[in-house]
């Protein structure tokens, strides 16, 4: 067994014994013994001041009658007006959503919220059981998007839920926007001056990209004083791409077909997927695609009661386009586009462009001074295999997919303060190593050891002297073990499935005064269960196959603002068996500073020439 993760054997034997720091007792957020969904992921940090709230949906029912396989969801529309009583600056803007589905039959569904064409939330829902209703809470920090909420406009939610003879339950949504007014202790946060959706729908809708050459794009004429720009991208895998990390190249499909837990004949696009951003048709930035797993993914009982990482709330990848600010300032329209290298039917994509303007100038000038990414030929993953027939004539061996990418993009901007140069340095790595073994005539053992890594360093100089910058290191490992036993032929099988998933971000930001901010987010999840041979499993009550789920999740976050978050949970046979919070934090309790971003530590951009007010620094 080849794996870049220690403790793989322990994963396969995970049980219900509480780990260190866990208690087999009820905590404030968790009810031990419950079968209702539970996650250790951190909430959004909040100021201590009371917010003004705007209701988006009040127990809205998504219950269209029709074919459950239809992709043509009916949007549920709403009209938004800025909050009354909180007209000034906001220190924080938070989306709050509560979902519920009665006990019965229903699949996991994609859900997305839009306002003025801008995507505010993207995720998937939880599947109920015949005797267990599910309900879950979602929060998103939308402070960066504050400019969007200063005017009345139309929005909509798209939740592709259908009521049919085999899926008989609606999904209900309560949703609010909470606006925290700025105060002496909580000053107004730095937010983008303008937010541009890349989609063409004025209310907003995700765009399906079928192939690597397809793109989501928009032609924009920018204000003449753009100083910084960031693109937030969500690329959600669907259909044959849903479990893209299990796919193989066409050349290997026939030889590995019998190992698969699904019969998607088109899952032959290889095992690499990524995000590429283009400006005026030239590559302008890269980002990884996170291997999100829906609650029906691989085997539905793996995710009861704990779903995979970010399943109900996708966190966008952020691509820094600040080097292109001078180009955007030339008064001409420019096309910003997103594509998904490796896409093979299909990815849902949403993207928002956040623009920050120079308040000291109505017009700036500049341009790109270096772009090694645009000069590169399209990078193709390296695929190697050792597949061969063993002594019994059975196909065994390995299939390795590896990719390394790196670029430097620099731009210059002439401002009233001087010449501002921004340099973005990116290094990305990807590997997907698959091992195929035949322990017997009816046995098919497969392991997938995958990891995506990213290192980003952004530095700004003013008249040649260092001004500010930040670094980000991200690692997203995934491990899948499938021990499949055929009962007869084809998809008539049983399998022992075990999965591990992780998400780690380390970030450092340094402001113009030399003050440094550091943050680390680390998420780890392990789960195992049995699966039976169905390509797309029926709703959870449609099988009598015996399941024996066991899982654990640990999440930690800390930063130099003093925030400390530690939460760990365990489950057995689809019930929460242990939960612990705050172990290792001061006073044994979780604490989040209102300025921290535990969901995605590096989303908060550098403020021009200063750090956030009151922010402690390390010299």
Render pLDDT for 365-412 as a digit per residue (tens, 0 to 9). 999 999 999 999 888 999 999 999 999 999 999 999 999 999 999 999
As a whole number of angstroms, the distance between CA 504 and CA 519 comes to 11
Average pLDDT over residues 432-446: 97
Q: Pick the last residue of a domain from 483, 507, 541.
A: 541
What pLDDT does 10 receive? 35
Query: Strand pairing partners for 230?
Result: 320, 354
Query: Strand pairing partners for 510?
Result: 469, 516
Same-domain pairing of 112 and 174? yes
What pLDDT does 490 receive? 75
Q: Are 615 and 563 in contact (CB under 8 A)?
A: no
**Is the pLDDT at 175 greater than 60, yes or no?**
yes
Confidence of residue 7 (pLDDT cuts 50, 70, 90): very low
Residue 179: both structure tokens together: 């606006």
Tell which residue, 478, 413, 473, has the closest CA to residue 228: 413
Matching residue, tokens 């996170």: 290
What pLDDT does 377 receive? 81
Element housing 254 (H / E): helix 250-256
**Is the pLDDT at 26 greater than 60, yes or no?**
no
Same-domain pairing of 244 and 349? yes
Residue 297 lies in a domain: yes
What pLDDT does 263 receive? 67
Same-domain pairing of 325 and 376? yes
**Is the pLDDT at 9 greater than 70, yes or no?**
no
- Average confidence score pLDDT of the chain: 90
Same-domain pairing of 121 and 248? no
Confidence of residue 201 (pLDDT cuts 50, 70, 90): confident
Q: Pick the last residue of a domain from 523, 541, 559.
A: 541
Residue 4 lies in a domain: no
What's the pLDDT tens digit per position in 260-310? 988 665 588 899 999 999 999 999 999 999 999 999 899 889 999 999 999
Query: Where in 47-187 does DSSP place strands (E)?
Result: 52-62, 64-65, 76-80, 90-101, 110-115, 118-124, 134-141, 153-159, 162-163, 171-181
What pLDDT does 21 receive? 38
Q: Pick the last residue of a domain from 168, 191, 214.
A: 191
What's the pLDDT tens digit per position in 186-195? 899 889 999 9
Domain count, the chain: 2
Q: What is the DSSP letter of 140?
A: E
Residue span of the structural domain in which 269 resides: 206-541
Same-domain pairing of 173 and 224? no
Residue 361's CB is within 10 A of a number of other CB atoms, namely: 17
What pLDDT does 288 receive? 96
Confidence of residue 534 (pLDDT cuts 50, 70, 90): low
**Is the pLDDT at 83 greater than 80, yes or no?**
yes
Tell which residue, 600, 612, 615, has the closest CA to residue 562: 615
Same-domain pairing of 153 and 302? no
Same-domain pairing of 177 and 215? no
Same-domain pairing of 157 and 213? no
Element housing 408 (H / E): strand 395-415
Q: What is the DSSP letter of 36?
A: S
Query: Where in 516-583 does DSSP place strands (E)?
Result: 516-532, 550-559, 564-572, 575-581
Residue 197 lies in a domain: no
Tell which residue, 161, 134, 128, has the closest CA to residue 542: 128
What pLDDT does 264 receive? 60
Residue 547 lies in a domain: no
Residue 455: both structure tokens together: 């290192």
**Is the pLDDT at 334 greater than 50, yes or no?**
yes
The percentage of residues in the chain with a pLDDT greater than 70, rounded to a whole number, is 90
Residue 72 lies in a domain: yes
What pLDDT does 536 receive? 53
Q: SS3 of 424, please?
A: strand
Q: SS3 of 454, please?
A: strand
Same-domain pairing of 315 and 419? yes
Residue 9 lies in a domain: no
As a whole number of angstroms, the distance between CA 205 and CA 356 comes to 24
- Up-side HSE of residue 195: CA atoms within 13 Å toward CB? 22
Same-domain pairing of 348 and 460? yes
**CATH number, position 158:** 2.60.120.1570
Residue 25: both structure tokens together: 């007792």
What pLDDT does 184 receive? 86
As a whole number of angstroms, the distance between CA 92 and CA 596 comes to 11
With 0-12 / 13-18 / 19 or more C-beta atoms within 10 angstroms meaning exposed / middle / buried, residue 28 is exposed
Residue 38 lies in a domain: no
* Alpha-carbon dihedral 364, 358, 351, 612, rounded to 10 degrees: 150
Residue 23 lies in a domain: no
What pLDDT does 491 receive? 77
Same-domain pairing of 358 and 412? yes
Which of these ranges, 50-54, 267-271, 432-436, has the smallest mean pLDDT?
A: 267-271
What pLDDT does 533 receive? 79
Residue 261's CB is within 10 A of a number of other CB atoms, namely: 22
Residue-wise DSSP of 162-212: EEBTTB---EEEEEEEEEEE--SSSPPPP--SEEEESSS-SS---EEE-ST
Same-domain pairing of 287 and 365? yes
What's the pLDDT tens digit per position in 538-562? 677 656 667 789 999 999 999 999 9
What pLDDT does 25 receive? 36
Average pLDDT over residues 563-591: 97
Residue 152's CB is within 10 A of a number of other CB atoms, namely: 10
Which of these ranges, 37-41, 267-271, 466-470, 602-606, has the smallest mean pLDDT?
A: 602-606
**Is the pLDDT at 237 greater than 50, yes or no?**
yes
């Amino acid at each position: 067994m080849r794996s870049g993760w220690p403790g793989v054997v322990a994963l396969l034997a995970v049980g219900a014994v509480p780990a260190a720091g866990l208690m087999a007792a009820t905590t404030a957020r968790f009810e031990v013994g419950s079968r209702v969904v539970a996650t250790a992921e951190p909430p959004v940090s909040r100021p201590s001041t009371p917010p003004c709230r705007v209701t988006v949906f009040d127990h809205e029912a998504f219950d269209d009658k029709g074919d459950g396989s239809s992709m043509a969801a009916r949007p549920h529309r709403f009209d938004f007006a800025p909050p009354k009583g909180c007209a000034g600056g906001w220190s924080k803007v938070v989306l709050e959503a509560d979902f519920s589905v009665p006990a019965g039959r229903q699949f996991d569904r994609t859900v997305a919220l839009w306002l003025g064409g801008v995507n505010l939330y993207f995720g998937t829902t939880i599947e109920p059981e015949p005797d267990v209703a599910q309900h879950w809470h979602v929060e998103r920090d939308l402070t960066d998007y504050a400019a969007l909420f200063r005017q009345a406009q139309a929005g909509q939610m798209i939740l592709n839920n259908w009521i049919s003879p085999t899926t008989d339950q609606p999904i209900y949504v309560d949703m609010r926007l909470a606006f925290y007014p700025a105060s002496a202790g909580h000053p107004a946060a730095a937010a983008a001056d303008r937010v541009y959706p890349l989609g063409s729908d004025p209310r907003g809708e995700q765009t399906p990209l079928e192939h690597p050459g397809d793109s989501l794009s928009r032609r924009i004429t920018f204000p003449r004083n753009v100083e910084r720009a960031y693109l937030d991208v969500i690329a959600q895998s669907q259909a044959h791409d849903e479990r893209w990390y299990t796919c193989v190249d066409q050349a290997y499909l026939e030889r590995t077909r019998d190992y698969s837990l699904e019969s998607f004949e088109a899952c032959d696009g290889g095992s690499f997927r990524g995000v590429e951003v283009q400006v005026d048709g030239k590559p302008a930035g890269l980002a990884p695609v996170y291997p999100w797993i829906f609650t029906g993914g691989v085997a539905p009982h793996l995710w009861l009661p704990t779903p995979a990482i970010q399943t109900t709330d996708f966190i966008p990848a952020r691509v820094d386009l600040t080097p292109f600010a001078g180009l955007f300032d030339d008064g001409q329209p420019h096309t910003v586009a997103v594509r998904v290298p490796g896409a093979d039917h299909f990815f849902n994509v949403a993207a928002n462009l956040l623009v920050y303007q120079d308040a000291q100038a109505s017009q700036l000038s500049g341009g790109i001074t270096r772009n090694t990414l645009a000069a590169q030929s399209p990078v193709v993953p390296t695929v190697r295999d050792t597949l061969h027939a063993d002594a019994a004539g059975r196909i065994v061996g390995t299939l390795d997919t590896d990719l390394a990418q790196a670029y430097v993009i620099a731009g210059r901007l002439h401002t009233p303060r001087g010449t501002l140069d921004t340099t973005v340095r990116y290094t990305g790595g990807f590997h997907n190593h698959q091992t195929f073994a035949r322990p017997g005539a009816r046995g098919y053992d497969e392991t997938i050891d995958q990891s995506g890594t990213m290192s980003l360093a952004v530095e700004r100089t003013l008249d040649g002297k260092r001004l500010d910058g930040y670094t980000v290191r991200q690692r997203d490992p995934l491990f899948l073990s499938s021990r499949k036993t055929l009962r007869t032929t084809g998809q008539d099988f049983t399998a022992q499935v075990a999965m591990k998933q992780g998400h780690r971000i380390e970030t450092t930001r340094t402001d113009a005064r030399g003050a440094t901010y550091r943050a680390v987010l680390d998420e780890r999840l392990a789960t195992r269960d049995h699966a039976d041979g169905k390509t797309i499993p029926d709703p959870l009550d449609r099988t009598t196959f015996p399941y024996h789920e066991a899982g654990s999740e640990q999440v930690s976050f800390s930063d130099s603002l003093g925030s400390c978050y530690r939460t760990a949970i365990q489950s057995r046979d689809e019930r929460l068996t242990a939960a612990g919070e705050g172990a290792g934090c001061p006073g044994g309790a979780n604490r989040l500073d209102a300025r921290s971003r535990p969901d995605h530590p590096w989303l908060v951009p550098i403020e021009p020439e200063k750090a956030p007010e009151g922010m402690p620094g390390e010299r």
